[in-house]
Amino acid sequence: MNFWRTLPQPIVGLSPMDGVTDAACRRITARYGPPDVMMTEFTHVEGISRAIPSVLRHLEYDAGERPIVAQVFGSEPEAFHRIAHVVGALGFDGLDINMGCPDKNVAAHGCGAGLIKTPDLAQAIVRAAQAGARDWADGRPLSDVGLPEETVEAVTRMARRLGAADRPRRLLPVSVKTRLGYDRVAVESWIGRLLETEPAVISIHGRTHAQRYQGEADWDAIGRAAGIVRGTGTLLLGNGDLGSPADVVRRVRRYPVHGVLIGRGALGNPWFFRANAAIRAACADPTTPPPDPPRVELAERWRVALEHAALFDRLRGPIPFTVMRKHLGWYAKGREDQPGIRARLVQARELADVEHLLADSLAIETAACG
Ligand SMILES: Cc1cc2nc3c(=O)[nH]c(=O)nc-3n(C[C@H](O)[C@H](O)[C@H](O)COP(=O)(O)O)c2cc1C
């Protein structure tokens, strides 16, 4: 069963963000959202093939994050065939191929958004991943796909730890996340080529590779992509600049997308997705007003920030605690009523610093209220 087809529409999912939507961030978002679907940070297929520990870490997840999709990138079709087996063995619900990353270390090597320039190769990659997903579902052993023995062992151990070893094999839906074009909007040709491979989903960020993150997401172009996809077996998710539930309602009412992905709008804001049911109600009935952003009291905000920091600390392995600072800054964003707290949080060196800062802030707030 393709899980994407079981999700309520419009689907409102968490967009993958490298260095941001790690296991701790996703677990917190699942607890206080949850989004309808989540993806891992993008993960290099070669790094997975070689079982590089820092790369495999990207594929750690918890059952509470389901449905959870592994997002991978690379440029060799063969590697995607192998990696579909790994992703299946680790118990993911889907496999997403990154064809949107504009970073020069990625795109200049023909991966990520670089694939928009080579649609034949992009198609070969999707088809190889789909063939790998089919072979996995048909019972092909992990040891039979050309992976090094150490990788088979590492993945088997990891699957046991994740509780995935005994899951029945299923056909993994293969999806693609991409942009509007390479150096110009080329929705008609590019989305047309992707559709020929019949992916389960195409998620499209409304900017070109050349734009990186500049300018505004072009929702008219996303709408044209959605028009091309309608009536095929593929779902289309629009993405870009959706900062509030009302933004989602406005776009979904206007453009025929099956759903959206929220990236920066969910930073320090796992509560965004609490509005999903109200978003769907407002999309189904144009007389229903769009929902307000979920209200979050300061104490709840700080409690979740601290819970996130503690979870990050527990799961971080060799990654320094300071990587958590940006999340703390996002939790504090917009709290002008708490002068100085943001500047201090983004200098936290360890979990104890966060505990002290937030406890002090709450004590001041309580004193001010009383
Ligand atoms: C810090 C950062 C990291 C990102 N990493 C990824 C990634 O690993 N995979 C991916 O498909 N997109 C990645 N993106 C793109 C986002 O998923 C999303 O497409 C983009 O931010 C536009 O959506 P937004 O306006 O809602 O943020 C990243 C974006 C940011 C800001």
pLDDT of residue 17: 98
- Cα→Cα distances 300→201, 278, 331, 362, Å: 35, 21, 11, 10
Burial of 81-105, coded b for 16+ CB within 10 Å and e otherwise, reads bbbbbbbbbbbbbbbbbbbbbbeee
Instruction: Kindly give the distance from the C-alpha atom of residue 156 to the centroid of ligand 1, in angstroms, as a whole number.
Output: 30
Q: How confident is the model at residue 254 (pLDDT cuts 50, 70, 90)?
A: very high
Instruction: Kindly give the distance from the C-alpha atom of residue 41 to the centroid of ligand 1, in angstroms, as a whole number.
Output: 9
pLDDT of residue 36: 98
Ligand 1 atom with least separation from CA of 261: 26
Q: Output the ligand 1 site: residues, CB below 6 A.
A: 15-20, 41-42, 71, 98, 100-101, 177, 205, 239-242, 262-265
Name residue 59's amino acid.
L
The percent of residues in the chain predicted with pLDDT above 70, rounded, is 99
Instruction: Kindly give the distance from the C-alpha atom of residue 15 to the centroid of ligand 1, in angstroms, as a whole number.
Output: 6
What span, in angstroms and rounded, lies between the C-alpha atoms of 102 and 100?
6
pLDDT tens track for 330-359: 999 988 788 899 999 999 999 999 999 999
Q: 3-284 in CATH: which number?
A: 3.20.20.70
Residue 191: pLDDT above 80? yes
Q: Which residues are CB-contacts of 86 (< 8 A; sequence separation ≥ 6)?
A: 48, 59, 142, 147, 151, 155
Instruction: Kindly give the distance from the C-alpha atom of residue 182 to the centroid of ligand 1, in angstroms, as a whole number.
Output: 16
Q: Tell which one of 18, 214, 236 to mutate to probe ligand 1, the residue whose CB is within 8 A of the most ligand atoms.
A: 18
Ligand 1 atom with least separation from CA of 243: 26
Residue 369: pLDDT above 90? no
Give, using CA atoms, the residue closest to atom 18 of ligand 1.
263
Residue 1: pLDDT above 90? no
User: Of the candidates 34, 48, 36, which has an alpha carbon nearest to the alpha carbon of residue 76?
Assistant: 48
pLDDT tens track for 22-77: 999 999 999 999 999 999 999 999 999 999 999 999 999 999 999 999 999 999 99
Is the torsion defined by CA of 331, 207, 241, 273 positive or negative? negative
What span, in angstroms and rounded, lies between the C-alpha atoms of 21 and 268?
11
Phi-psi region of 193 (alpha: psi -120 to 50; beta: other; left: phi over 0): alpha
pLDDT of residue 370: 61
Mean pLDDT of 141-170: 96
Give, using CA atoms, the residue closest to atom 14 of ligand 1.
17
Per the CB < 8 A criterion, the answer to whether 267 and 330 are in contact is yes
Name residue 210's amino acid.
A
Instruction: Kindly give the distance from the C-alpha atom of residue 329 to the centroid of ligand 1, in angstroms, as a whole number.
Output: 18
What span, in angstroms and rounded, lies between the C-alpha atoms of 323 and 321?
5
Give, using CA atoms, the residue closest to atom 2 of ligand 1.
17
Mean pLDDT of 218-246: 97
Q: How many CB atoms lie within 10 A of CB 361?
A: 21
